[in-house]
Amino acid sequence: MQYQVTEIEFDFDDSLHPMTDVEMKEVYEDYIGTFWEAEDGDDLIEEITSESGWCIKSIDYRHILK
């Protein structure tokens, strides 16, 4: 199934290097609006976590019907 990320919040608090506001904004811009292939919502979270390297606090997405 295909999903589009509409909102996402990463857990930047769990970092050894504090992120600046600019760095955080760049990470969010890399993921909001993106399309992903995943089995379900849990798989979507795993896919994004694996690619970004950040845990996800919250996520909103929409399922894209083909």
How many folded domains does the chain comprise?
1
Residues 6+ away with beta carbon under 8 Å from 39: 1
The answer to whether the pTM exceeds 0.75 is yes
Q: Determine the Cα–Cα distance for residues 2 and 45; give it in Å rounded to an integer.
A: 13
Average of pLDDT values for 9-29? Answer: 89
> Tokens in use for 9?
């919040």
- pLDDT digit string, tens, across residues 29-63: 999 999 999 999 999 999 999 999 999 999 999 99
Residues of the domain holding 9: 2-64
**What pLDDT does residue 16 have?**
77
11-15 long-range Cβ contacts below 8 angstroms, 24+ apart: 11/54, 11/55, 11/56, 11/57, 12/54, 14/55
